[in-house]
Amino acid sequence: MLTVFTSPKPFEGRIDGLQRNAIRSWLALGPGVQVMLIGDEPGMAQAATGLGVEHHRQVGRNAYGTPLVSAIFDVARAQARFPILCYLNTDIILLDDFLPAVERVAARFDEFLVVGQRWDLDVQDRLEFEQGWPQALRRRLESSGRLHPPAGSDYFVFPRQEFTDLPQFALGRAGWDNWMIYSGRKKRLAVVDATAAITVVHQNHDYGHLPGGQPHYRLPESQENLQMAGGREMVFRLPDVNWVLGPTDLRHFPLGHATLGRRLESMIYLLLGPGRAARIARILMHPAETTRYFIHRGQEPHEA
């Protein structure tokens, strides 16, 4: 039913165990799930063999050597055995509510994108996927988990024919996940926030795998991703979806006083698309933010 694909970090140190936890949770979904690892990071081939999942080594990279999201999606699309694809970050654990939720969306829509918030959890141990493990993990979430803010998504579920036109985004850097939500809305897909129906668990870790140990949003590639996305106006978040999947229902995103302003703003960006007109619209709608930005720039030291 579903092809799950990812491009892992090197299988080294603590990340090794976290990634193996995640992949084993995907395999625990059952035989209707195809799992593939894409890339040639250290330890990936051995991990794929040991876990019994597919491994596709060749993937396009940018000038920094970072895998390209578009190249990863192209490999997955070419090798997928199932019509629905799911990209996941390799530190994300899936539980038993994942496939039923995807099936509910696919039964309603032919063209869709499913996204959602994650739960952050400190996981120090190797998980054992014995009977009752989803319930045990949910109990850990209740006591020590934290629902991550609705800024972006760590998983994307969509039919194989969608998202064939991705810009040359760098994987693991900011911006491309927000562009996915924007692009889905622009193409008039059913963009579904499944937070209330799907429990995905992010295993907390540091940024030791990134250059200088910096968070991804501080790296130059994140700024390049933002430019390729079309600018800050195209940074759509989970409140910008148009459908919500609950435990028992699938409904249009509810409008209220707290969300109406942002809904109107996002509609303007969808209408205008990337470019000067959208930037002007953003300046007009956020004058205080624009003023702070130019004041900050004016206070920056200038090179001699």
**Residue from 131, 141, 156, 289 nearest 201 by CA:** 141
Confidence at residue 289, expressed as pLDDT on a 0 to 100 scale: 75
Which domains, from first to last, does the chain contain?
Answer: 2-245 (3.90.550.10), 258-299 (no CATH)
**Residue from 218, 85, 217 nearest 151 by CA:** 217
DSSP string, 116-184: ---EEE---S-----TTHHHHHHHHHHHH-EEPPTT--SEEEEETTS------PBTTSTTHHHHHHHHH
Residues 6+ apart with CB under 8 A from 117: 147, 148, 149, 150, 153, 193, 195, 238
pLDDT, tens digit (0-9, with 9 covering 90-100), for 27-80:
999 999 999 999 999 999 999 999 999 999 999 999 999 999 999 999 999 999
Structure tokens at 117: 């918030």
pLDDT, tens digit (0-9, with 9 covering 90-100), for 227-280:
999 999 999 999 999 999 999 999 999 887 678 889 999 999 999 999 999 999
CA dist 209 and 217 (Å) reads 14
DSSP string, 151-168: T--SEEEEETTS------
Compute the mean pLDDT over every residue in the chain, rounded to the nearest whole number.
91
CA dist 55 and 48 (Å) reads 6
Q: Which residue has the tokens 């039913």?
A: 1
Confidence at residue 286, expressed as pLDDT on a 0 to 100 scale: 86
- Residue 67 bridge partners (DSSP): 61
CA dist 19 and 134 (Å) reads 17
Q: How far apart are the first and last CA of the chain?
A: 61
CA dist 227 and 238 (Å) reads 20
